Structure 1
Amino acid sequence: MKIRPVILCGGAGTRLWPNSKNHQAKQFIDFGKWTLLDKTLERTKASIYDAPIISTNKKYLKQVQQHLKKNKIKNYKIVLEPLKRNTAPAILSTALIKDIPNEQPLMFFSADHLIEKMSVFNKAINKNKSKLTDQNIFIFGIKPTAPSSEYGYFVTKKVKGNINKVIKFIEKPKEAKARQVIKQKGYWNSGMFFIRKDSIINNFKNLQPTIYGNCVNAVKKAKLKSNIYYLNKASFIKATAKSFDYAILEKTKQINAIKLDIPWSDLGSWKEILKMYGMNKNKYIKKKNVFYRPWGRYTNLFEGKEFLIKELIVKPKGILSLQKHHHRAEHWLVTQGNPKITLNKDNFIKKPNEHIFIPLGSIHRIQNPGKKPVKIMEAQIGSILKETDIVRYQDVYGRVR
C-alpha cells in the first residue's frame, strides 16, 4: 500500500504581517516564480506516494486549484472546511473520508514548509512504514542548526526495535533554554506527522471524543462534488478548535520520532526568509538592480506583493543617513561584519546572523566602523517600497535638504 500524502493548507500567515489587514497566507506567497505550496505538491510526486489530499478552507479553494493545475496534478481530493477549527479537526476530518482505507499510512505535510534532501526524507518514511500501528504516531524532528525560540523541540530515548520514543516536548523556549535542550540532543518539532488512519481514529476516540463525534458527522453529511468534500458546517462548527499537538500529542503515550539532519524551515519569520534569499541570492541578482551610493551599494533581489528583498553592502567607514519611513517597516539580517545600528535613541553593535526589526516611523541608521564591508539582508514590508519614502535627518554626504 502506497503512502497517502495529506497537505494541511489552511494557515493565514498572520505572523509575517502582524499589522496588515490584507495579510497573505504564507503557502501562496510568490517568492520568485515559486510558492511553498508548489514545493509541497512537488514533494508528493515521489514514487512512494499515492494521490494527494489537500485540507483547506473555502477561502483558499481557487488558489489551491490553481496550484494543482500549475503543478499538473490531476488525481487529487480536496477536503474543504466551512470555517477554521485549527489542526486537530482538520487532520481528523481528512482521515475520515471514505477514500482512505482503515490501515492506510498517511503522511501529513504542512503546505508552508521548505524541505531539502527529499530523498533522505522519503527513505526515512519508507523505513518506518512497517512500524506504524493502530495506536502510534511518528513525528519528524529536524536537527537544530542553532538555538531558536521560533520552534518547539522534543527529546527522545531509544526503546526496543531501535525506535526513538518521544519523552518530552518543549514549546518554543527562550534561547538560553534552547541551548540546554540542544545539549540534551533535542530536535526541532517540524509539525509533520506519519500515522495510520485507524490510529488517528483510536486516538481521537480515546482522547477527544467530542471532536471525534462532530467530525464524523461533518464527514458523513459532507457533500461530494467531483473531487471536493464540502464538510457539513452545522457539525463541523461544534468541533472544538484545538491544535493536533494540544489535542493529541501532549496526551498520548505512543509517540515516536523520525530524526533528520536535513535543511528545513517553515519560513515563519522574515529572518528565515532573509536567510533563504541570502543562500540563493545568485539566482536573483541582476546587474540592472544594483545601485551605488556614497556609503556602498544595494541590490534589489526580489519584489513581491508588499515586500522587497535587498542586500546592502556598506563599505568601511560608510554611514547611511539618519532616516525614517512613512510607509514601510524593515527587517535586517546581518550576514557579514559588525555594524553599528541606531534605532531611535538606542545605539548598538550587531553580529553576523543577528536580526533587527525597524518599525514603521522609527528613526534609524547603519554605520560600518570596521575595516571590512558590512553585509545586511533587508526585507522592506509595506504599501510603498520606493526610495522616495525616505525622510533624512542627518547625512554625512550632504543629502539632507
Structure 2
Amino acid sequence: MNSPILIQPVVLSGGSGTRLWPLSREKYPKQLLSLVGDDSLLQATVRRVIGTPGVTLTAPMVVCNEEYRFVIAEQLRLLGTDGNVVLEPFGRNTAPALTLAALAALQNAADPVLLVMPADHVITRTAAFQDVVSRGAALAANGAVVTFGITPDLPETGYGYIQAGELYDAAADASARVIARFVEKPDLATAQGYLAAGNYLWNSGLFMMRASVWLAALGNCRADILAACQSAWDAGKTDGEFVRVGRDAFAACPSDSIDYAVMERIAAQTQGASHAGALPPGVVLPLDAGWSDVGAWDALWQVLPKDDHGNVAQGDVLLQDCANTLALSEGRLVACVGVSDLVVVETADAILVSHKDKTQDVKKIVDRLKSQKRAEGSIHRKVFRPWGWYDGVDAGERFQVKRIVVKPGGTLSLQMHHHRAEHWIVVSGTAKVTKGDETFLLSENQSTFIPLGTTHRLENPGRVALEMIEVQSGSYLGEDDIVRFEDVYGR
C-alpha cells in the first residue's frame, strides 16, 4: 500500500491590496484582515487545507515581507500552529518567493509536494477545494507542475486565462488537461469568446509541484533567479520562529512571477517551441469551489451574504431603501438612504464612497495619497506592534495622544527620545515601568512622567492586557524619534 503523499502548504503573503483601501493598507494589507468570517484571509488559507483526504500535511510555511512577521506569527499562533515563516527583505514577486519556499522545504531531506497558495484569496467550498488538491497531489508527486483553473461563470476581464489543451492522462485523472497557453487579461469581446469556447479557465495563482521539480524547472528557465535565491538562502539564518535570508544576496535577485518565469515556458514547450532543456509537463485541473481573489470591493460584495435586496452590511450600519450596496463600518454609524450599487467603507481616519462599477479605480486614490505623502495611504490610525498595538487618538502642533494596549508578557524596547516627553496613565492592568535607574509598578488610575532624553521601557508583567493613555509633547513627535538600546523583538 502506498504511503500518503507529503504536502507542504506554502502561503505566499505578498501584495498590498490597494484596491481594498481604506481597510487594506500598505502596512497592514488585506491578507491580514478578517473580510469574510472571523479568520483573516491568511488564516482561512491555512485552515482550508486541514483535513485534506489521502495526504499528509506538514506545518504551513508562509513567505512574507519581514515587516509583517510578528502579525503573521501571531495569526498562526491563534490557529494553533507555529508554522514556518520565511522572511523576504524585499518584494521580488512570486517566483523568488516560491524558490525560497522550495529551498526551505528540502532542508529535512524530504521532497514534498508544494501546495502554493496566495494568502489573500477566498474559497467558499472547502470540500471541493480539498478534492482537487488530493487529485493534484497525485499528479505533482509524479513530476507534473499542476495549476488550478477556475471554471468561469461570466466573461471576466480582470483575470488572466489558461487555455486547457488535450487530456493529460485519462487513466490518472479524467479532468486533467495539458496547459496549452496562458493569456493576459482580455477585453470584453475576447473574454466572451473564451467563455463560449468552453476550454478557457481563470488563472487562480494556485500551484502544486515537488520542491525539486520547481528548482529544476527554474534552473532551466531563469538560472539567474535560482542562483540569487540560493545565495540568499545560504547566507540566511534562523531568528527564533523566523528564517531570514541574506539581505544583500536577495537584493540582487531579479523580480518575476511564477507565470512569466516558468509556467508560460512550460506551455510554450507543449506547443513545440524550442527551449534549452526539458521542462516538466504542465497540467491544469478545473476548480469550481467558490473562488475569488477579492481584488476589489465589488469582488468582496460578490462573496459575502446579502439581504433580500442584494445589500451587504457589516458593523454599525443602517440601510433604508437601498439595493446592491456594500456598507462597512469599523466604528461610527453609517446610514445609507435610497442608494444602489454603492460601496461605503468607514474607518477611523478615512471614508470611501464608490460606485460598485468603479472599485478598480480605488488604487488611483491610494496613488494620490502617496504622492501627497499622506499617512492614510499606507498606515491605519491603529498600528500593530509585536507587543500589542497603539491608536493615535488625537494630535496637534506640539502634542499627540495615543491609546496603548500591551498584551500579557509584552515588552516595549528600552528607548529614549530626543524631542519629546511622555505622560503615561494606566487605564487597566499593571504596568512595569523602567525610567532611568528606577523600576516600579503602576496600576489602574496611576501615572508617571517620562522627561525628554530619559531612558525608559514599558512592560506588561500581568496576565491580562495592559491598557494605557500616552500623551506626548515636544517639538517633534515622529515615530523615527526613537533610540533603541535593547529590544527583545530584534528591531
TM-score (norm 2): 0.60
Query: What stretches of structure 1 of length at least 5 have no aligned partner?
Result: 316-326, 334-354, 361-381, 385-401
Q: Give the SS at the match of 2:261.
A: helix
Q: Give the SS at the match of 1:168.
A: strand
Distance apart, 1:357 and its partner CA: 5.3
Q: Which residue of 2 aligns with 1:178?
A: 191
Asked if 1:143 corresponds to 2:148, the answer is no
Distance apart, 1:103 and its partner CA: 3.0
Asked if 1:94 corresponds to 2:107, the answer is no
How far, CA to CA, are the matches of 2:210 and 2:77 in structure 1? 28
Q: Which residue of 1 aligns with 2:166?
A: 158
Q: Which residue of 2 aligns with 1:331?
A: 354
Q: Which residue of 2 aligns with 1:203?
A: 217
The answer (yes or no) to whether the contact 1:155–1:184 under 8 Å persists in 2 is no
Q: Which runs of 4+ in 1 moved over 6 A?
A: 280-284, 308-311
CA RMSD for the aligned pairs?
3.5
Residues 19-48 of structure 1: CA distance to partner in whole angstroms, max 9, x if unpaired?
x98574110123264321121121232253
Alignment-mate amino acid for residue 90 of structure 1: A
Q: Which has the larger radius of gyration?
A: 2
How far, CA to CA, are the matches of 1:208 and 1:267 in structure 2? 30
Query: What stretches of structure 2 of length at least 5 have no aligned partner?
Result: 171-175, 270-280, 341-349, 363-378, 382-491
Distance apart, 1:6 and its partner CA: 0.4
Q: Which residue of 1 aligns with 2:289?
A: 262
Q: Which residue of 2 aligns with 1:40?
A: 45
Distance apart, 1:160 and its partner CA: 4.6
1:290 to 315, 318, 321: 318
The answer (yes or no) to whether the contact 1:329–1:358 under 8 Å persists in 2 is no
The answer (yes or no) to whether the contact 1:300–1:310 under 8 Å persists in 2 is no
Q: Give the SS at the match of 1:132.
A: helix
How far, CA to CA, are the matches of 2:337 and 2:231 in structure 1? 56
Asked if 1:303 corresponds to 2:310, the answer is no
Asked if 1:241 corresponds to 2:252, the answer is no
Asked if 1:64 corresponds to 2:107, the answer is no
Alignment-mate amino acid for residue 182 of structure 1: L
The answer (yes or no) to whether the contact 2:317–2:329 under 8 Å persists in 1 is no
Asked if 1:232 corresponds to 2:236, the answer is no
Q: 1:280 to 1:117 in 2, by over 3 A?
A: farther
Q: 1:280 to 1:256 in 2, by over 3 A?
A: farther
Q: 1:225 to 1:313 in 2, by over 3 A?
A: same
Q: 1:205 to 1:312 in 2, by over 3 A?
A: farther
How far, CA to CA, are the matches of 1:113 and 1:55 in structure 2? 15
Higher RCO (CA-CA < 8 Å; seq separation 6+): 1
TM-score (norm 1): 0.72
How far, CA to CA, are the matches of 2:315 and 2:25 in structure 1? 35
Q: Give the SS at the match of 2:58.
A: coil
How far, CA to CA, are the matches of 1:248 and 1:61 in structure 2? 28
Residues 238-273 of structure 1: CA distance to partner in whole angstroms, max 9, x if unpaired?
110111111111112321001112211010011101
Asked if 1:85 corresponds to 2:92, the answer is yes
> Equivalent residues in 2 for 1:4-23 (5 A)?
4-17=8-21
Alignment-mate amino acid for residue 27 of structure 1: Q
The answer (yes or no) to whether the contact 2:113–2:141 under 8 Å persists in 1 is no
The answer (yes or no) to whether the contact 1:133–1:199 under 8 Å persists in 2 is no
The answer (yes or no) to whether the contact 2:93–2:255 under 8 Å persists in 1 is yes
Q: Give the SS at the match of 2:186.
A: coil
Q: 1:33 to 1:161 in 2, by over 3 A?
A: closer
